[in-house]
Amino acid sequence: MVTALMAVSFLTLAVTAVVPNVPVMIAAAAVSLAVEGVLFRWQRGMVAMFAKMHADVTVRHLLRDMLIVVALVRLHGQSQETDLATPLLVLLAFYGLHFSIQAVSVIVRRTRTTPVLTRNIDTSALRLTAAPPALLLRRPGHRLLILGLPATAGLLAAGATGDALWGVVGAAVSVVLALGGLVLLGSHLLPGRRPPSEETVLKWFDAWLAEYKPTIGMYFSGGSASAYQANMWLDPLAKLDGRPLIVLRERFMMQKITATDVPIVCLPQVHHLMRLEHSTLQALIHPSNSGKTSQVLRIPTIKHAFVNHGESDKLSSCNPYAKAYDEVWVAGPEARERYALADIGVEDKDVVEIGRPQLDGIAAYRGAPEGEYTNVLYAPTWEGWDGNPGNTSVIAAGENLVRALLADPKVRLVYKPHPLTGSVDPRAGAADRRIRELILAANRERTGTRPGAEAAAELARRTAELDRLTTSAFRTSSDNMERMMLQTAPDPGRAAAVTAATAAWVKAYWAALPEWEHQIVTDARPDIQACFNRADLLISDVSSVISDYMASGKPYAVANTSGLTEAAFREAFPTVRAATVLTPDAAGVPELLERVRKPELDDLREARAELKLRLLGPSDPPSQARFNEAMRALCESALRHRRRMTEREARIPGQRAAAPTGDPELTTG
C-alpha cells in the first residue's frame, strides 16, 4: 500500500510536470512527503528496499523538487514577471550544503569512533564530549526531509501564487538551516572537541582492566536478531562468584544487550581484542558460535566454555565447532549422550553438566487448570537453515493446530512464534501471518468482560518503572555509540530492582488482558518463561523450548512434521518421549485438552519427571550453584595453565610473561 502510494504520487508529479495542474501537483507532493514520514517512522525495511533499488531518499527528494521546478517552468517560464532562476539557484545551494554536511559527517564519525565501547563503566577520565545531534551525524534521510521541507513548500507556494519570491524564501530557509547544521557539525572537528586518540583510549582501557581485574565473562558475537542468545545468560552470569565482564564484537550489539550491571566492552578490532590476553580474565562462556569466535579462542591465557543458548535434539545442538572450546557445558545427561552419539570430536571428559540456571524461576506443575480457561502456549520454532521439513510446524501444521485450539470455547491460546520465523523460508512467514489472522478473527467473535481502567493504569505504571530501570541513557541520546562511553559506573542495587520490577510487570501484564482473549506475543516482554508460567499446556516443535519447559513438569505436545512414524519420531528425538505427538492435521488436539483438564487421565506425568532429570539434571544442588562450581573449576584450570606458561617462558630469555604483571595471585573472587 505504501509503495503504491509512493509510486502513484511520483507518477502524478511527473504528469503535472508535463501537463501543469497546480492543485494536483500540491496534493501529489503532500502525499509523497507524508509517505516518506510513514516509511521512516514505521517501515524502515521499505527504506532499505528503496535504497537497494537506487531510489533512496536523496534521489526521491531531488526528483520531487526537480519535477516541481519543471512544472513551475512550464507554468511561468515564459512570463517576464516570474524569475525562476533565483529560487533554483538557492535550491541548488541547499543541495550543495546537504552534500557538504554528509561529507563532514563521515569525517566526524571517523574521528569520533573509539576503538573500545563500554557500558556500565565510568569513563569520566577520558573527558569525552557529547556527540553532534544524530540528525546531522547519522541520519541523512531524516536530515534531508526535515531541512528540505521549507524549500519544497516554497516551490509549491510559488506554483500556487505565481510569485517566485515564495520559492526564494523557502529555499533560503533551508539554506540557513543547512548552513547552521554544517557549522555545528564542523565545530566538532576543532581540537578542543575532538575525542581522545586511539592510543589514549587503549591506555585507559588497559588501566581499567588492571583496576577492575575481571576474572570471568561472556563473549558474544552475532547478528541483531541473535541478541536474545546472550540476554538469557545475563542474570546467571551476574550471580557468579567473581568479577564478570561481557565482551562484544559488534558496535550495534551494545544496544541489543538488555539491562545488566555487568560491565560491557565492545572490541570490534582483533588486535584490540588481544589485549585481554594480559588481563586477569580467566574464563569466558560462549552462548553461540560465530565466525569471530575463533579470534578470541586464540588467547591462550583464557579458558573457554560453550554453554549454548538452548538445547534440543536437532543436529545444531551438536555442532562440530564445539570441540574448539576447552569445555562444553550442558544441562543434563541427555546432552552428554547426544555429544557422544554425534561423534564430532567432543570428549566426554570435557562435557560438564550444569543444568539450566535460567529456569530457576519457572513455576512447578500444580495439576488441572485453575481458571475457567485452559491456557495453551503454541511456541513453534523457526524453519532453520537446512530446509528440514521437521524443523518447524508452522508451515505444515500450524494453521491446523490453531484452528483446532480455537474451536474449543474454553481454550485461551497464546501464540509466541520464533523471532526468526520466515527469515529463510517465505512459506513460514506466510503461514505465520495466516495464523495471526485466524487468532484475530477468533477474538472478534468472542465476547466477555475486560479489565477496568485500573488494570491498564497499573500496567502503564509498571511499564514506565521497568523501562526506567532497563533503559540506559544511551538509548535515547543523540548519538547512541558515544553516549555509551559517557555513562558512569552502574548502580549496584539496580539488578535486584529490575528483578522485582519485571515480576510486577508480568503480573500487571496478564491482569490487564481479558482471560478469554487469545494473545499473540512477539515483543521481548513477556519472555518465554513468563509464558511458561501462564500456560497449562505447551505445543511446540523439537527445540530448546521443550527442554526448558520440562522444568515445569507440565504436559506438552510436539507436532510431528518430519514424515517419520510416531515410533521413529520418539526414537529419533528423546525430548519427545514424554510428549503427546500430534500429527499435521491436529486430529489429537481434543483428546490432549481432555487429559490436561483431567490430571487423572495424564499417563505421561511420571515420564515427564524422568525426562526432566535426564534433560536438566537434578534439582539439588540448584543449577546456579552447579554453574558457579563449573566456572570456579574452569578458572582454576586457567590459573594452572598460566603458571605453567609463566614457568616455561621464564626459562626462555626474552619471552614476555603470560600472566599480568603486578597480579601474580589471580583468584576467581
Read out DSSP for 358-409? GGGGPPPP-SS-SSSSEEEEEE-----SS--TTS-SIIIIIHHHHHHHHTST
pLDDT reported for residue 192: 80
- Domain extent, residue 547, equals 374-449+518-616
Quick check: 21 pLDDT over 60?
yes
Is position 646 within any domain? no
**Which phi and psi (to 5°) does residue 374 adopt?**
-90, 115
Quick check: 203 pLDDT over 80?
yes
Instruction: Tell me the pLDDT tens digit for each residue of 445-484.
Output: 998 899 999 999 999 999 999 888 876 443 333 233 344 4
pLDDT reported for residue 667: 43
Residues 445 and 462 in one domain: no
Mean pLDDT of the 497-523 span: 93
Instruction: Tell me the pLDDT tens digit for each residue of 353-384.
Output: 999 998 878 888 988 998 899 999 999 999 88
Is position 504 within any domain? yes
Residues 459 and 500 in one domain: yes
2: Cβ contacts below 8 Å, ≥ 6 apart: 35, 38, 39, 43, 46
pLDDT reported for residue 228: 86
CA–centroid distance for 262 within its chain = 18
Omega cis (within 30) before 526? yes
Among candidate residues 430, 370, 394, the one with its CA nearest the CA of residue 543: 394
Q: Which of the listed residues 496, 513, 530 is the one where a domain comes to its end? A: 513
Is position 202 within any domain? no
Distances (CA, A) of 491 to 127, 494, 520: 21, 5, 35
pLDDT reported for residue 313: 67
Quick check: 329 pLDDT over 70?
yes
- The CATH number of the domain holding residue 442 is 3.40.50.2000
Grade residue 82 by pLDDT with cuts at 50, 70 and 90: low
Residues 146 and 188 in one domain: yes
The three cell numbers locating residue 51: 535504497
Q: Contact 264/257 with Cβ under 8 angstroms?
A: yes
Is position 123 within any domain? no
Between residues 52 and 604, which one has the greater pLDDT?
A: 604
Is position 272 within any domain? yes
pLDDT reported for residue 482: 44
430: Cβ contacts below 8 Å, ≥ 6 apart: 422
Among candidate residues 547, 629, 540, 222, the one with its CA nearest the CA of residue 358: 547
What is the Cα–Cα distance from 117 to 248, expressed in whole angstroms? Answer: 9
Which residues are paired to 374 by β-bridges? 411
User: What mean pLDDT value characterizes the chain?
Assistant: 88
Residues 332 and 409 in one domain: no
Between residues 648 and 626, which one has the greater pLDDT?
A: 626
Number of domains in the chain: 4
Residues 23 and 161 in one domain: yes
Element (H, E) at 247: strand 244-248
Q: Which of the listed residues 596, 616, 636 is the one where a domain comes to its end? A: 616
Element (H, E) at 520: strand 519-520
Residues 301 and 166 in one domain: no
44: Cβ contacts below 8 Å, ≥ 6 apart: none
Is position 637 within any domain? no
Residues 135 and 283 in one domain: no
The DSSP string of 567-587 is HHHHHH-GGGTTSEEE-TT-T
Among candidate residues 118, 293, 289, the one with its CA nearest the CA of residue 202: 118
Quick check: 494 pLDDT over 90?
no
Instruction: Tell me the pLDDT tens digit for each residue of 564-617.
Output: 999 999 988 888 999 999 999 999 999 999 999 999 999 999 999 999 999 899
Residues 221 and 327 in one domain: yes
Residues 338 and 243 in one domain: yes
Residues 439 and 496 in one domain: no
Instruction: Tell me the pLDDT tens digit for each residue of 384-440.
Output: 877 777 789 999 999 999 999 999 999 999 999 998 898 888 999 999 999 999 999
Among candidate residues 59, 74, 73, 60, the one with its CA nearest the CA of residue 29: 60
pLDDT reported for residue 653: 67
pLDDT reported for residue 492: 57
Residues 274 and 172 in one domain: no
Determine what percent of the chain is predicted with pLDDT higher than 90.
61
Residues 302 and 326 in one domain: yes
132: DSSP letter = P
Which residues are paired to 553 by β-bridges? none
449: DSSP letter = -
Is position 505 within any domain? yes
pLDDT reported for residue 315: 62
The DSSP string of 322-350 is GGGSSEEEESSHHHHHHHHHHTSS--GGG
Between residues 494 and 322, which one has the greater pLDDT?
A: 322
Q: Which of the listed residues 616, 634, 653 is the one where a domain comes to its end? A: 616
Quick check: 74 pLDDT over 90?
no
pLDDT reported for residue 655: 59
Is position 507 within any domain? yes
Question: Letter for the amino acid at 362?
Answer: I
- Beta strand 264-266 with 117-119 is antiparallel
Q: Contact 559/541 with Cβ under 8 angstroms?
A: yes
3-class SS letters over 224-244: HHHHHHHHCCHHHHHCCCCCE
Which residues are paired to 284 by β-bridges? 217, 304
pTM for the whole structure:
0.77
What is the Cα–Cα distance from 287 to 241, expressed in whole angstroms? Answer: 19
Which residues are paired to 315 by β-bridges? none
Which residues are paired to 285 by β-bridges? 218, 305
537-540 sheet: strands from edge to edge: 519-520, 411-415, 374-379, 537-540, 556-559, 580-582
